[in-house]
């Protein structure tokens, strides 16, 4: 996660600093990702309309918000009352949100290592738990804090494995013992319990339905055995939010759909309206004509068969633009598709602009997003390059500055 300085252009103007959008863009000519916070908000609202009124939402913003930027997104979504809080993967990601002033609940979804327990408790960060030693260590951490005058319990969400075989206690007698132990351990507050779907993004929902049934039975057993009800029960991910209303419990966890991307090609796309939040832009830095027989890029995997006009774009796999798009991908220039010629290099690649005679050096190039009537999506590029769309988003590099747009205005730039 990068340090993000948020300052709207309007605020800057009020302070007498005139920052025009154009000036910001000038500094970002090589490449920038523009993230629409309006799209993120509307994706969230459209998902909320598709779930039960009593179900609140967790925005999953691990891996720096699937590469989109966790902090600006958390700030945007914190204003929505049905957003319970945020989920991340690691203690560091969780602390970064707290350090940025995010006050809603934050949950770490994976295993959290003991070195961070005191910090997690102090910062009220919820943790997924499923190992006995975690309960012991958390209890010890809470006791150590109490000695220092900080009376706080560790808030935990018990993770249950209902079919993913990744992390989580098994929903059997052993799992019940774990839940009882968590209830009884000093310094621990069991706030939630959750499970995760392995196959909710498939057309056939049988496996996911089975997981829901197993989870519900386990919840019933907990109640029967202990007489207690855990306040926050959750199991749905993006695919579940779209198509599994039975999985709406107290909370649902929205990840990929938050960013306007689809969990898979098999989910129904007519239920919730989603808008891709991220666009990726660059600039043409060189235009030239090459003669028939000229090779383009490393290995000359493309050789011109006739005279053609080609353009160079100054981004490459060093920015997370997949090398797998070599000779296969395309970009938009002047609203038209221009195919990639030869291999994508670390920092540059070439495109064919023979059919777009108006192309000049300095022209804007859309790598992901809309230009005119055409649109390039991460799903489309993912398919061509043999890359999962989740991975595509996460891999957009550190070298790519992110710019946030809200109500049509550029919101923040990174220093
Ligand atoms: C990543 C993750 C999610 C979000 O998944 P999407 O498919 O992006 O919605 C939800 N729950 C857990 C446990 C996760 O690890």
Q: What is the pLDDT of residue 6?
A: 43
Residue 183 DSSP code: H
User: Given pLDDT bands bounded at 50, 70 and 90, which one contains residue 14?
Assistant: low
Ligand 1 pocket member 196 (CB < 6 A): yes
Q: What is the pLDDT of residue 173?
A: 97
Give Cα separations from 6 to 3, 12, 103, 405, 410 (angstroms).
Answer: 10, 10, 17, 11, 10
Nearest C-alpha neighbor of 285 from the set 351, 398, 363: 363
* CA-angle at 46, arms to 44 and 48, nearest 5°: 70
Ligand 1 pocket member 377 (CB < 6 A): no
User: Given pLDDT bands bounded at 50, 70 and 90, which one contains residue 24?
Assistant: confident
Q: What is the pLDDT of residue 23?
A: 73
Ligand 1 pocket member 168 (CB < 6 A): no
- Does 298 participate in catalysis according to the annotation? yes
User: Given pLDDT bands bounded at 50, 70 and 90, which one contains residue 282?
Assistant: very high
Ligand 1 pocket member 263 (CB < 6 A): yes
| Residue from 194, 234, 255, 258 to probe ligand 1 pocket by mutation (most atoms less than 8 Å from CB) | 255
Q: What is the pLDDT of residue 204?
A: 98
Whole-number Å distance between alpha carbons of 257 and 273: 10
Ligand 1 pocket member 36 (CB < 6 A): no
Give the chain's mean pLDDT: 94
Under a CB-based contact definition with an 8 Å cutoff, are residues 279 and 33 in contact? yes
Whole-number Å distance between alpha carbons of 403 and 389: 21
What is this structure's pTM?
0.94
Which of the pair, 11 or 4, is modelled with greater confidence? Answer: 11
Q: What is the pLDDT of residue 5?
A: 44
Q: What is the pLDDT of residue 13?
A: 52
pLDDT of residue 21 exceeding 90: no
pLDDT of residue 16 exceeding 70: no
Nearest C-alpha neighbor of 108 from the set 134, 132, 136: 134
Q: What is the pLDDT of residue 207?
A: 98
Q: What is the pLDDT of residue 243?
A: 98
| Residue from 47, 60, 164 to probe ligand 1 pocket by mutation (most atoms less than 8 Å from CB) | 60
Phi then psi for residue 352, to 5 deg, are -90, 120
Whole-number Å distance between alpha carbons of 338 and 380: 15
- Does 123 participate in catalysis according to the annotation? no
């Amino acid at each position: 996660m990068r340090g993000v300085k948020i300052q709207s252009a309007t605020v800057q103007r009020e302070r007498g600093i005139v920052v025009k959008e154009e000036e910001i863009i000038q500094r970002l000519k090589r490449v920038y990702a523009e993230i629409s916070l309006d799209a993120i908000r509307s994706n969230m609202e459209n998902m909320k309309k598709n779930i039960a009124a009593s179900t609140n939402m967790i925005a999953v913003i691990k891996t720096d918000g699937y590469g989109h930027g966790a902090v600006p997104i958390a700030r945007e979504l914190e204003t929505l009352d049905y957003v319970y809080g945020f989920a991340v993967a690691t203690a560091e990601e969780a602390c970064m949100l707290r350090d940025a002033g995010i006050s809603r609940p934050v949950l770490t979804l994976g295993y959290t290592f003991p070195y961070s327990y005191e910090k997690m408790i102090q910062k009220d960060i919820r943790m997924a738990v499923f190992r006995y030693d975690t309960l012991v260590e958390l209890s010890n951490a809470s006791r150590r804090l109490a000695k220092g005058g900080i009376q706080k319990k560790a808030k935990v969400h018990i993770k249950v494995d209902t079919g993913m075989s990744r992390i989580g206690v098994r929903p059997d007698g052993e799992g019940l013992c774990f839940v009882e132990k968590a209830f009884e351990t000093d310094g621990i507050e069991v706030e939630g319990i959750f499970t995760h779907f392995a196959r909710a993004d498939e057309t056939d929902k049988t496996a996911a339905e089975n997981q829901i049934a197993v989870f519900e039975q386990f919840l019933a057993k907990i109640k029967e055995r202990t007489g207690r009800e855990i306040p926050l029960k959750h199991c749905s991910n993006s695919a579940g939010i779209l198509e599994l209303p039975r999985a709406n419990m107290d909370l649902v966890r929205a990840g990929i759909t938050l960013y306007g991307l689809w969990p898979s090609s098999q989910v129904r796309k007519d239920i919730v309206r989603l808008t891709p939040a991220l666009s990726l832009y660059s600039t043409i830095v060189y235009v030239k004509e090459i003669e028939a027989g000229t090779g383009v890029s490393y290995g000359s995997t493309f050789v011109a068969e006739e005279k053609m006009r080609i353009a160079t774009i100054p981004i490459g796999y060093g920015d997370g633009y997949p090398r797998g798009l070599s000779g296969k991908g395309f970009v938009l220039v002047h609203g038209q598709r221009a195919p990639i010629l030869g291999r994508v290099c670390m920092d540059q690649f070439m495109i064919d602009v023979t059919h777009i005679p108006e192309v000049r050096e300095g022209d804007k190039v859309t790598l992901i997003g809309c230009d005119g009537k055409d649109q390039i999506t991460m799903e489309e590029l993912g398919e061509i390059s043999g890359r999962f769309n989740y991975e595509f988003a996460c891999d957009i590099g550190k070298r790519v500055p992110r710019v946030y747009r809200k109500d049509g205005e550029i919101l923040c730039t990174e220093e």
